[in-house]
Structure 1
Amino acid sequence: MSVLISILAFVVTIGILVTFHELGHYWVAKRCGIKVLTFSIGFGKKLLSWQRGETTWQLAAVPLGGYVRMLDERERPVTPEELPRSFNQQHPLKKMAVAAAGPVANLLLALLFYWVLFVSGVTTLKPVLADVTAGSVAQQIGLRAGDRIDAIGNRPVNTWDDLAENLIDSASKHEPFDIAVHSQSGDVTLPVDPARTSLGEIDANLIDRFGISPLPITTVIGQVAPDSAAAQADIKAGDRIVSLNGKPLQSWSALQQAVAHYPIQPVQLVLDRHGEHISKTVTPHEIVVKGQHIGQLGLAPRLDEARWKAQQMQLRYGPVDAIGAAATKVVDTVKFILQMFGRMIVGHVSVKQIGGPVTLADLAGRSAEMGLLPFIENLARISLSLAVLNLLPVPLLDGGHLMYHTAELVTGRPVPERVQAFGMRLGLAFIAGLMALALYNDFFRLISG
């Protein structure tokens, strides 16, 4: 069922974002007096089409984009009476407006989505550490469960999303930064030096490797996977793990770390089941994660419901205030995307963060399963990513067209066709390489679980 949901959510996501993007091009082209011949959602073989006015609207077989084809004498003969409506005959400013309209439409769509979210009320998490992994970087620098993060670097932290984004941003600079913390003993500032701290690659898993979590998990078992090592040992949901190999268990993360080191080696667990202590010998199954052989019991923890409820907070604004909040969110997100892309180019951020259709479908499916508002939030993020990607100065993308039209505005003549043809080959090579990398990352994520 989850695969079907992911596929449907992916189709809906692409359909909404691409349609709105192309509508931006279409709307501005029509306002500039340009004749639009075809409005297509998807590429390749035409599946469905209909005529509306002078434009053919169609759905095509490959749902990974779309296009608006305009009258252009470089592509086909144009009658003298229609020549003023040909795209290539327009003033460079009009051409620039048409090229920029698609990404701008995606920015406006994200703004609308965030406005809806802020008016409806967004449930988010406080920047409070519910768990700090034993032996992790976070514990080594002095962070403890219950601490509240107030700022990272020079950026304030108000939610867990702020915490995650600011930590990734600060670490990706590869320069020392401070974490402002409110703890039980008072306010402290903890220094972090990425050059001397083993944080690994700068990617979406940085928070986990740093060793912090907003989830107030307990040592009570919430789920037991079928056919797992735990199930074979008759361990049940509701059992509380008291000790591991004779040592009291302090946290679930301590259990995970210990078991990971014992693939195919028996471990001794003492469980509290309805007030009675039961001893179990369990042999963890061996799994391979990113080339490493680790042990796995097949257990999931139970959340402390009271603490989990206290960890949540809701952001809600009035219709007018939500406009400013949404605009701020859009600007901050675009800045973050650009910063991460720039640092990816210089090697400070892992290129493994580039995802393809499988990753997009997975994100869409997960957000859809969580509900309408999480799905809308995911749409907003992807819409902004699509806008930024299309504004890159790469031929074939909208940013590449903007570059050509700007050159025409400055020089007073169009960029020579041989230069455009060469640029098209470079752009095609860039996009093909980017897609190959994205598909490779998708495949690697699938085989690594």
Structure 2
Amino acid sequence: MSNPQLKRAVLSSYLGSMIEFYDFLLYATASALVFNKVFFSSLDPAAGTVASLGTFASGYLARPLGGILFGHFGDRLGRKRMLVITMTVMGLASALIGLLPTYAQVGVLAPILLVALRVLQGIAIGGEWGGAVLMSAEHATSRRGLWASFTNAGAPSGQLLSTVAMTVTAAVAGEQGFLAWGWRVPFLLSVVLLAVGLFVRAKVAETPVFAQASAAEREGVPLVEVFRRHPGNLLRAVGVGFGAFVAQATLTTFLLAYATGAGFPRPTVLNALTISSAGAIAGILLFAALSDRVGRRPVVLGGAVLMALVAFVLFPLVDSGSFVLLTVAVVLGQSIAHPAMFGPLAALYSELFGTRTRYTGASLGYQISATGAGFAPVVFAGLIAGGAGTVAVSAVIAGCCLLTVVAIVLTSETSRTTLAEEPATTAATP
């Protein structure tokens, strides 16, 4: 494995993840701020918000399907081929969202088409993450946590890029213009990003770990092998990631809707999210690098405990009406607590499965846990609409972080293993 090839793999994984999450999280921002007015205009504002966030959840439900589908062929045929397909599907689906007619134009057909394209987005990103992580992790011979985490850093990078695109478009188009046509522009830009991503990805070679695997190791059905050989690791992977995804959706989606409902102007909320997303990129890389030194378990454990505590100060800070305190709230969550939970996951998930099942196992564990992010905004919006206070929302977030604590305590330390080894199948002793 040449050093230039590692650099290409890391750059490809980072850019690919950034582009995919730009498309996927652009939808999150739009569902919190725009889609309730464009695709659910026949409903009252509260019901429209819940319905809009419901379509957001449909993408997360489709992610495990993408993990199974692309994981199967990625474990059988190679990582690189699947990544070209996932990026193409995501880019085209996002561009088509930007061309959709509104509810006022075609009635109920508009939200139906929106959900269909969101499902395609979910399938694409469900297959993208695992392959992108493995392109970096399986090329790396040291500091695997850091190199693999560039894929995870692509998520806040995509969030940052999508938020900036929305902010600039909103400023140029104005309130009425933004609702009429401005929100479409960031989605249509996906075509340009798709071309850049495919160009970079074409220059990366297949991973040496996969290339060195024998033909016999590529036989069988990877999904069946995961359930037969590593069911405990799969369950622990789901538990470890669940709290991180609930926190992510709270900070990047639900808090947007909550803050605008509390009286903050849309640009103000987007500015706060832009700042915290920039901090999240650095946070993910730093905590992942730390996990190479001290282990994955203590870093994820510390992040989960901190996020549980931050959950109870988020909403009081937002309710203060201060932009500074709003920014403090999202920075505490998105730039510090969440990266500690999320940064080491790319390497950790790769280390929990063997080469013959790694794409499928890592993808499935990650994407099932990601359904927490899809449901969280809907559940929280329903709680608020039903009269529950924000303390109840904070308690749910803290409970999900507790699940992460239990799962990571039961997970064996993996940072000192090599990806050529068959992973441990037993739980750690608490």
| TM-score scaled by length of structure 1 | 0.25
With a CA cutoff of 8 Å and minimum separation of 6, indicate the structure with the bigger relative contact order. Answer: 2
Greater strand proportion: 1
Q: Looking at CA atoms only, which structure, 1 or 2, has the larger radius of gyration?
A: 1
